[in-house]
Amino acid sequence: MTNDSGNVLLALLTGAAIGAGFGILYAPDKGTKTRKKIKEKALETKHEISERVSHAKEELTKTANEKKVEFEQKLEDTISNMSYKADDIIASLERKLEEMKEKNAQLQK
C-alpha cells in the first residue's frame, strides 16, 4: 500500500467516523442510546482500522520479503559473475607473468 493510498484511506475513515458521529449526535434519541451508538461506532471503526493496518503490515512484510529474496539473488549472481571475471583476470595475469619470465630468461642469456 503506498503512502498516498494510506492517507486517502485514513481520510475516508476519519470522514466516515465524523459523519457517523454527527449523525448520531443530531438523532432524536436519548443520551444513553446516543452514547451507546457512539461507542458502537467507535469500536466498529477501531476494528476496521485495526484490520486495515494488519492487512497493510502483512502486505508490507510480504513485499519486503520478496524484495529481500530478489536482492539476494541479484547479489549472488553478481558475486558469481565477478568470480568468473576475477578468474579470467588471474589467468590473464599468469599468462603475462609467464611471458615476462620467458623474455627475462632470453635477455639473461
The upper half-sphere exposure of residue 46, i.e. CA atoms within 13 Å in the direction of its Cβ, equals: 6
75-101 residue pLDDT tens: 998 888 887 788 888 889 999 999 998
Residue 2: band (very low, low, confident or very high) from pLDDT cuts 50, 70, 90: low
* CA-only gyration radius of the chain, Å: 34
Q: Are 24 and 38 spatial neighbours (Cβ–Cβ below 8 Å)? A: yes
Residue-range definition of the domain harbouring residue 10: 3-78
What backbone phi and psi angles, to 5 degrees, belong to 27? Answer: -75, 150
Whether the pTM exceeds 0.85: the reply is no
Q: Answer yes or no: is 36 within a domain.
A: yes
CB 1 within 8 A of CB 59: yes
Structural domains counted in the chain: 1
- Is 69 part of any domain? yes
